[in-house]
């Protein structure tokens, strides 16, 4: 019997369209069916528009900005086609994960992508501080911190950028709210008053624009011992009336559904008893609250 809470609104990255993922998009969707999902949002990464943001692994394989754009165009065509093919077995939501670089132009670029392809929804994520990646490696994370003026300044800047991204893009979903904790050499900095205040402002932006927070299970498999976001952020968001959804942030079939049961228990342990999900009804995207 299908369980309505088995929903992911962030993930489905496939090796067809993402250099650091595996398998085909069809295989990812088959894995979602096998995992018992009722709704599976596919949110492939938006293409980066400047060569300086091409990842080292992509560059080694000959990727460039042109290739990233071509792959994303192919992704958009494929996810729309497969969503129709799978509709009897799985509700596939057709989305993408926005990037916040280049800082000066990302807003117009991301909104243009959404309009051009007619995506169902957007996941708004921040992967950069001072336009330096914070989740690629500990070395890059360190470089971003130093560019920002230290670890506390970097963490504050990160949450400021999340708030600005929400205001600029108004995404339906906010991805991995406290991604800044990955590679943090001194996690106590994340509890500094200035950082918590900045995180609070990001939550206020999420509330104002009705963004759903991604309870992202990738934190488990990356050795953090918890998902994104941390318990205090979950409780604060719940007090403010900000909704949560699940996101497995899957980059391979083996990761589809990974950590979902633990994430459900985690939300319940932090006094959250329902998720806010997206669904397709009569060709329209609607919000639903589902008990967990």
Instruction: Give mean pLDDT, residues 136-157.
Output: 97
Q: Which residues contact 124 (CB under 8 A, 6 or more apart)?
A: 98, 165, 166, 169, 171, 173, 174, 175, 211
High-pLDDT (> 90) share of the chain, %? 97
Structure-token pair, residue 126: 């921040």
Residue 139 burial by Cβ neighbours in a 10 Å radius (0-12, 13-18, 19+): exposed
Report which DSSP code applies to 191.
G
pLDDT at 64: 97
Question: How is the chain split into domains, by residue range?
Answer: 7-44+76-291
CA Rg, the chain, in Å? Answer: 18
pLDDT at 1: 61
pLDDT at 2: 74
Per the CB < 8 A criterion, the answer to whether 122 and 161 are in contact is no
pLDDT at 191: 95
Distance, CA of 191 to CA of 118 (rounded, Å) = 40
Mean of all residue pLDDT scores within the chain: 97
261: left (phi over 0), alpha (psi -120 to 50) or beta: alpha
Instruction: Give mean pLDDT, residues 78-95.
Output: 98
Distance, CA of 193 to CA of 39 (rounded, Å) = 38
Beta bridge partners of 122: 96
- CATH code of domain 7-44+76-291: 3.20.20.140
Q: Which residues contact 231 (CB under 8 A, 6 or more apart)?
A: 266, 269, 270
- In tens, the pLDDT along 215-259 reads 999 999 999 999 999 999 999 999 999 999 999 999 999 999 999
């Amino acid at each position: 019997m299908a369980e309505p809470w088995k929903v992911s609104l962030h993930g489905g990255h496939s090796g067809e369209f993402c250099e650091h993922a595996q398998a085909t998009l069809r295989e990812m969707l088959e894995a979602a069916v096998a995992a018992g999902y009722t709704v599976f949002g596919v949110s492939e990464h938006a293409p980066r528009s400047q060569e300086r943001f091409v990842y080292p692994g992509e560059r080694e394989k000959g990727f460039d900005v042109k290739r990233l754009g071509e792959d994303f165009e192919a992704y958009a065509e494929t996810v729309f086609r497969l969503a129709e093919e799978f509709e009897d077995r799985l509700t596939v939501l057709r989305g993408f994960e926005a990037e916040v670089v280049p800082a000066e132009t990302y807003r117009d670029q991301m909104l243009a992508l959404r309009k051009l392809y007619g995506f169902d929804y957007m996941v708004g994520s921040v992967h950069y501080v001072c336009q330096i990646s914070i989740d690629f490696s500990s070395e890059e994370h360190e470089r971003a911190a130093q560019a920002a003026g230290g670890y506390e300044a970097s963490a504050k800047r990160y949450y400021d950028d999340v708030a600005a991204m929400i205001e600029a893009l108004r995404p339906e979903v906010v991805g991995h709210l406290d991604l800044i904790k990955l590679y943090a050499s001194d996690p106590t900095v994340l509890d500094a008053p200035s950082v918590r205040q900045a995180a609070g402002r990001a939550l206020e932006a999420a509330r104002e624009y009705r963004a759903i927070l991604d309870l992202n299970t990738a934190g488990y498999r990356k050795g953090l011992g918890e998902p994104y976001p941390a318990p205090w952020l979950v409780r604060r968001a719940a007090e403010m009336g900000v909704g949560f959804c699940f996101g497995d942030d899957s980059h391979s079939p083996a990761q589809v559904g990974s950590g979902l049961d633990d994430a459900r228990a985690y939300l319940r342990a932090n006094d959250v008893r329902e998720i806010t999900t997206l669904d397709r009804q009569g060709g329209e995207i609607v919000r639903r609250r589902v008990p967990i």
